[in-house]
Amino acid sequence: MPEPNTTSADQTATPEQIKEMREKMMTHYEEQMPLMEKELAFETLAANIEEQRLRRFKNKLSITQLMASVQDKKEAVPSQPDKNPEPPKP
């Protein structure tokens, strides 16, 4: 039967136990590295994609604002008066 979990106050690990725990940790980390490297590559690629989407959105927004500004300026310019205006009718 496995020993129940104990706190460090209940039991002090021997140098052999510490060495064994470290070896288990190193083995675990070494086994996980390939997975973590693939996860890092995935997360990096996903972040790059999101950055590109944000840049594209900002560019579209800038173009839209520029076009709206040009349209507002066109509407603000008064139209040229007719060279031959009709005289007012009595």
CA 49/CA 5 separation, integer angstroms: 45
Q: Please name the residues in contact with 13: beta carbons below 8 A apart, sequence gap of 6 or more.
A: 21
Residue 83: pLDDT over 90: no
Per-residue model confidence as pLDDT tens digits over 4-38: 565 555 579 999 999 999 999 999 999 999 999 99
